[in-house]
Amino acid sequence: MRPSSLSFLLTALLAICFFSKNHAQTPDTLPMTELKAVTVTAFRLETTDLTTPLSLTTVGEYRLQNGQQQLALDEALAAVPGVFVQNGTNFAQDVRVSIRGFGSRSAFGIRGIKILLDGFPETSPDGQGQVDNIDPAAVTSLSVIRGSTAGLYGNASGGQLSFKTLTFTEKDHAEAGLTLGSYGFQKYRLSGGGQFSKAQLSFNGTYTKTDGYRDHSTMKNVLLNGGIFLPVDSTFDLTILANYTNSPTAQDAGALNISEVEADRSAARDRNVTFDAGEALWQGRTGISINKRFSKNNQLSARAFTTQRRFSAKLPINPAEIIELKRQFSGLNTSFLHRGTLLKLPWEINVGVELEAQNDDRQRYLNQSNEKGPRLLDQKESFLTAGVFLSQNFSLTKRLQFFPGVRFDAMWLEVEDRFLTDGNDSGERTFYVLNPIAGLSYRVFEALNLYTNFSTGFETPTFTEFANPTGGGGFNPELNPQKSRSFEIGAKGLIAGGRFKYEIAAFHIRLTDELIPFEDDAQDRTFYRNAGKSVRNGLEVGLGSYLGKGFYFYANYTLTDFRFREYQLGNEDLEGNLLPGVPQRLAYAELRYFKSSGFHFTQTFQLVDPQFVNDLNTTKTESYLLANFRAGYRFRFEKWRMEPFFGVNNLFDAKYFANIRINGFGGRYYEPAPGINFFGGFKVGF
């Protein structure tokens, strides 16, 4: 940690202590529900977000739903400190999320971050996650853990995103909505639920279409999501969930070099148009979870699911290829929670077993006039993981809590080469990993909760990242998993009777064999290599406040210093270079006016520092200020409600990049973002 960062943290902690003790706390009868402490299970134990020894931010339904365009998840995640989101407009590559640098290397999809949807994993065992089956319009709450949680959730857990989309209630409810916007954007949505006999039902469905700001960036998507919650009796409940998405079109406009950007920001790369670059997919998932309470202090939970995914893509690499992938991803998790005493101390323990299996059937074909030509690769990939975890909470005093945990994972990776004309590239990799995690939380008073934690992390390359640069199948023999050790201190609390909620975290992470993407100059496709060592230091500050009379203010600030410590690239020594794809400073501010009925508005600002686009640190982007405004009016009469709304994105018409392709060959780093654009819609419900 740099001295300036540490000084800032200590000064902020002292200021909070002084303000907390000297400020007269007067009660406020106006609603502050979004700022109160909320119950979480981040440590696999039920605590509040203020007492858990992790950096954890929750975003509620009002902030996620009111007047949002709801095109991509970057709208919600920008409000979380320490999180940087890109690629919200390229639906062939999917949203790219970076938490403390984890996930920044992703060429497509989300890497190194555990994603949960209504409690079920969306991240496959190899660490690859997609959110194309999560509708932003359906998300009612979002919880983000920043920092390694491998001791809780296993491989590729540099952070966690937990989305809730289904709300089970006894009250009958329904809502229909329509949103239209710039670049041919259309969104139609229907949701509802209620009580049927003993069962509670919840469902939502959407159709989304956009032509996109850039040429060759059309997207269409249909998403259906539903569930049944059945309280069998007072001690036993059952939940069944189903999720389906079908995206027949998601075109990829590709990355441009700076000359092409200056000529036409909305243009697509020529090669992407020629070979019709993009993807098509459908995915279906079913899951079941049960909870059995044997007594107040003993509870058994179990979860099982299976996911089927069919994916095809046209890649404008050299030579151009067509990829087809069939994936089956299944899992089983069971855990037992006990509350009691140990060594005369109040004690909670959650012990469990988690089994997951991923089976991919992958083929690659030569792209001949956008039709499948000769087969280039045919292999079956399997990833089996078995994990045993133990999470505990010791109440050492009424104010001091100790959270030790540990997880052991055994991982078996296998590639079966079925295209033998170029030799047999079959192979196996096996990993056995023990990841501890430990945290301390001390409640000084409501306004000040101090915490610290230590954890280790382990991240295998995904099967896509394991691709062999030689052009054959099997594993890249020179690529190794990434390992990390993380240390964090922080403070969080409520001030002025709950009007202000804050969080401060400082962290230090050491990594070995960090996974770095690069584009091969001959094949024009992304592969991965290991950097020797790197260090990440950072400071994150978040604030939420209720100003009174319906006004809310939110702000966050992130300061990072992520550098290579040992990294030899050819004849270049890159020690001291900054990690590309991550800005050193991020700032966000949001002013919102909202009441249960009547007019509402939200104004947001996000300031993003320059970021390097390559490991050599020879080129970087410019900083930019992104401003978005949205407003609406909520009518209520009897049981019905209606809400027209509108919004303006990129209010100041900033020229920035929606995504950076790190180490892109030929200087093709840039995917330009749209300028000022508009949307509007209407919702009706009861």
Query: Of the ranges 71-75, 118-122, 225-229, 535-539, which one carries the lowest mean pLDDT score?
Result: 71-75
Predicted local confidence at residue 78, as pLDDT: 83
Predicted local confidence at residue 67, as pLDDT: 75
In a domain, 55, yes or no: yes
Report yes or no: 529 and 496 within 8 Å, Cβ to Cβ.
no
Mean pLDDT of the chain: 90
In a domain, 441, yes or no: no
Predicted local confidence at residue 71, as pLDDT: 86
Predicted local confidence at residue 74, as pLDDT: 83
Instruction: Report in angstroms the alpha-carbon separations of 198 from 223, 235, 555.
Output: 27, 14, 43
What mean pLDDT do residues 24-30 have?
A: 38
Of 134, 131, 144, 207, nearest in space to 166 by CA? 134
CA distance linking residue 408 with residue 374, whole number of Å: 43
In a domain, 129, yes or no: yes
Burial of 365 (0-12, 13-18, 19+ CB in 10 A): buried
Say if residue 154's pLDDT is above 90.
Answer: yes
What mean pLDDT do residues 619-647 have?
A: 93
In a domain, 80, yes or no: yes
Residues in the chain: 686
**Domain residues for 545?**
3-155+165-283+293-344+355-426+446-685
Report yes or no: 277 and 315 within 8 Å, Cβ to Cβ.
yes
Reported as a single tens digit per residue, the pLDDT across 170-213 is: 899 999 999 999 999 999 999 999 998 889 999 999 999 999 99
Say if residue 684's pLDDT is above 90.
Answer: yes
Reported as a single tens digit per residue, the pLDDT across 457-475 is: 999 988 888 887 776 677 8
Predicted local confidence at residue 33, as pLDDT: 65
In a domain, 370, yes or no: yes
CA distance linking residue 308 with residue 310, whole number of Å: 7
Of 683, 601, 686, nearest in space to 189 by CA? 683
Of 16, 259, 223, 54, nearest in space to 150 by CA? 54
In a domain, 242, yes or no: yes
Predicted local confidence at residue 21, as pLDDT: 41
In a domain, 606, yes or no: yes
Of 667, 657, 580, 584, nearest in space to 616 by CA? 580
Tokens representing 291 are 């909870």
Band (pLDDT 50/70/90 cuts) for residue 523 is: low
Concatenated DSSP letters of 375-413: EEEEEEEEEEEEEEEEEEEEESSSSEEEEEEEEEEEEEE
Three-class secondary structure of residue 631 per DSSP: strand
Reported as a single tens digit per residue, the pLDDT across 622-635 is: 999 999 999 999 99
What is the domain-level CATH number for residue 335? 2.40.170.20
Predicted local confidence at residue 32, as pLDDT: 61
- Please tell me the total count of domains within the chain: 1
Three-class secondary structure of residue 87 per DSSP: coil
In a domain, 437, yes or no: no
**More confident: 629 or 523:** 629
